[in-house]
Amino acid sequence: QVQIVESGGGLVQPGGSLRLSCTASGVNGVLHKMGWYRQVPGKERELVASVRSDGDRQYGDAVRDRVTISMDNNQATILLQMNNLKPEDTAVYYCKCVVSAVFVYWGQGTQVTVSS
């Protein structure tokens, strides 16, 4: 059974930085893609950033110039560096893992709050 462990959320002031980490364990197949999504109450979950095992990266329009995602295939870990955070970045951030291009797993979510 795949388990997703997220860390790094918290409270940060506007203009500050955070780094989120996500590790997948128990993967029985090809780790195809991992990524971070976020959601606020009343809105749909949206892409923050994702990375495929071949290195291809995608970024959400709202954060494109302020975040960087990296992946360590051997460790099934991704890191999301977020800079110049804004109050509108406040959300629950979820890690997503796609195995063998078919099976999708989500983490429990970690709260990011940007406030002075």
Predicted confidence (pLDDT) per residue in 9-21, tens digit: 999 999 999 999 9
b (16+ CB within 10 A) / e for 51-80:
bbeeeeeebbeebeeebebebeeeebbbbb
Predicted confidence (pLDDT) per residue in 68-108, tens digit: 999 986 779 999 999 999 999 999 999 999 999 899 999 99
Predicted confidence (pLDDT) per residue in 24-75, tens digit: 999 888 888 999 999 999 999 999 999 998 889 999 999 999 999 999 867 7
> Which backbone phi and psi does 73 adopt, to 5 degrees?
-60, -40
Q: Average model confidence (pLDDT) for the chain?
A: 94
Instruction: Report pLDDT for 70.
Output: 94
Using an 8 Å Cβ cutoff, are 111 and 20 in contact? no
| Cα-only R_g, the chain | 14
Q: What is the dihedral of CA 24, 89, 69, 71, to 10 degrees?
A: -10
